[in-house]
Chains A and B, each alone.
Chain A
Amino acid sequence: MQRNNNHTTIVTIEKVIDETPTVRTLVFSDDVMSNVLPGQFAMVWIPGVNELPMSVMISKEPGKAAFTVRKHGPASTGLFNILEGQQIGIRGPYGNSFDLKEGKLLLVGGGTGLVPMMRLLTFVKPTDDVTVLIGAKSKDEVFFEDLANNLLENNPHKVIVSTDDGSYGEKGFVTDLVEKLVSKSHFDGVYVCGPEIMMYKTVQSAHSRKMFVQASLERMMKCGVGICGSCCVGEDLVCRDGTVFDGQHLSTNKEFGHFYRNKAGILENY
């Protein structure tokens, strides 16, 4: 019988990979999650702790998927601390996915925003010329550089890392690098996921030059199915209308890049 996306499925964590001191990837077996599209997400239940929306990470083994989590608040720290052999609940996949163009592509990921970018890389064609930008605060927080290079080994490609403090790769914000690249050459598709200000600047840089750009948004999310309303951005609901939105659409959204809602639903400035 086909699984109902809304029903919680319990899975066992089979492998925990330390990516950085604060980022871990948790691998589990699940056919549905192993086949999700880039941009889609799952609601992940950490029993006794919380439930949070997570982009679904790829795994090299068939039938397996993963979550890559940075410990931050109580919920993400709860997931970060899950050990091999422990169980979590998942429901989904929810949301739409990136619309993959062909030709010259630019993928921009900041922190765990790299997760949907890595999944997107598994969908590029061998002829696509792909540039991946990885943004991090410092050398300690860089991850997925080798993975991106491995996934693109048959493509013309570049993987460029930038760190805010210059301790690794290029120095500066990844958005400065985006601006530099899109001002020099045309990209057929630009894709971004990461902190919202990073996405806002990337969308502006590409959209103002009439390039096709998409961003995968993140918001406070409680239900994941369009009931609670917590994840609204302007008139859009990230869970039902997104997570992926076109630059064209985002350029008309009054809240994107400017405001977020707190747990009580009050708009606050970035």
Chain B
Amino acid sequence: MNQLLYSKLSSLFKVELSLATSIGQIQLDRPVMLASGILGISLDVFNRLYRSGVGAVVTKSLSTEPWEGYPNPTIFSVKGGGWINAVGLSNPGATNFAKMIEPNQDVPIIVSLVGSIPEDFETMIKQFENCKVTAYELNLSCPHVAKVGLEVGDDPELVKKIVTTAKNTTDVPIIAKVGLGTTHYLNTVSAAIDSGIDAITAINTVRAMAIDVETQRPILSNKFGGLSGTPIKPIALRCVYEISSKHDIPIIGCGGISTWEDAVEFFLAGASAIQLGSAVGDNWIDVFNDINNGILQYMKRKNYSSIKEMVGLAKKQ
């Protein structure tokens, strides 16, 4: 974050303004994370993002083997705002990725994982034993790859088995990322909580598509993709509010956040931290410090000294 602004504001108001937040056992200096799937394959880029103000980097979702993903077009810009992507969970595989992040000491890295069966997650988590990992995020909600993601998240019994296996494999906190599938996402949340999950990320992209009227064919090579960005923000906000109203579980808000006001809305709905991705495509990586600074100004104006003071306030209204 902007150190100059930080010290200026702190001295002006004689309060120790802090962007630090905790999501259960996870401690972060700043509440804005890079969401999974975005810019996530190089440690050099992670370091740059950390310098640009992220509190943590969530990696691309990793699988047991490397995946090439779908052919292009893999992304579509929606008129009126938002993106539809079907990158297809392209990733270098957990083993290669673990080797790459082994030297990391400075950047809080949350490792995102996809798999079909509990053993996939056990195998992958073991690959990271020599790495400094802040948390694991189980991707139970990717809407455009068969046998993983939503197909797993839509099966609460399988979710229970995966979470239990992951929890038994490591002491590092485990987060479940849920989204909108055919099973009500609150059932997935309940299953994850019953099995000892440490936190919930809500939500993932929403299954969508785009058709070109001139050539009269679907644009994405996979036909269907996940809608992200500003169009899904109100939906994501509703989900965070619903989860925090029903459960006492740390929540990370994700879905269409692109401004500090969006971030604060999610805190007020019950999120202790937020993730963003599409806003990087719209505003590039300056967006992280812009949001940090906006949150700080808001805290100053409302006389809050920590993020925690804001979390869930809208539920009291």
Contacts and interface: CB of A to CB of B under 8 A. Distances in A.
A227 B75 CA distance: 9
Interface in A78-131: 87, 89, 91
Contact of A227 (B41, B90, B100, B281): B281
Interface string A236-270: 01001000000000000010000001111111000
Interface string B38-51: 11111011011000
A246 to B, nearest CB: 17
A235 B71 CA distance: 24
A226 B72 contact: no
Interface string B73-99: 111110100010101001111001000
Contact of B75 (A10, A225, A263): A225
B199 to A, nearest CB: 24
A265 B66 CA distance: 8
Nearest to A224: B75
B26 interface: no
A8 B211 CA distance: 11
Interface stretch (A44-52, A160-168, A172-180): A44-52
On chain B, which size bracket covers the interface?
A: 35 or more
Contact of B74 (A48, A74, A223, A237): A223
A227 B83 CA distance: 10
Most B C-beta atoms less than 10 A away, residue of A87, A222, A237, A254: A222
A195 interface: no
Given A7-B79, A228-B74, A47 B41 contact: no
Given A4-B77, A75-B72, A227-B75, A235 B281 contact: no
B48 A8 contact: no
Nearest to A261: B41
A89 B91 CA distance: 27
A226 B66 contact: no
B261 to A, nearest CB: 22
Contacts of A264: 66-69, 90-93
Contacts of B71: 50, 74-75
B278 interface: yes
A169 interface: no
Q: Is the interface of B mostly helix, strand, loop or mixed?
A: loop
Nearest to B75: A223
Contact of B72 (A8, A10, A50, A261): A50
Interface in B112-160: none
A235 B87 contact: no
A259 to B, nearest CB: 11
B171 interface: no
A85 B8 CA distance: 62
B72 A265 contact: no
B75 A222 contact: yes
A149 interface: no
Contacts of A228: 37-39, 74-75, 85, 87, 90
A264 B97 CA distance: 11
Interface in A33-54: 43, 45, 47-48, 50-52
A235 B231 CA distance: 30
Interface stretch (B213-221, B242-250, B263-271): B213-221
Interface of B: 37-42, 44-45, 47-48, 60, 66-69, 71-77, 79, 83, 85, 87, 90-93, 96, 100, 212, 214-215, 217, 219, 221, 277-278, 280-281, 284-285
9 contacts: A48-B217, A50-B72, A50-B73, A87-B214, A229-B45, A264-B67, A264-B91, A265-B41, A266-B66
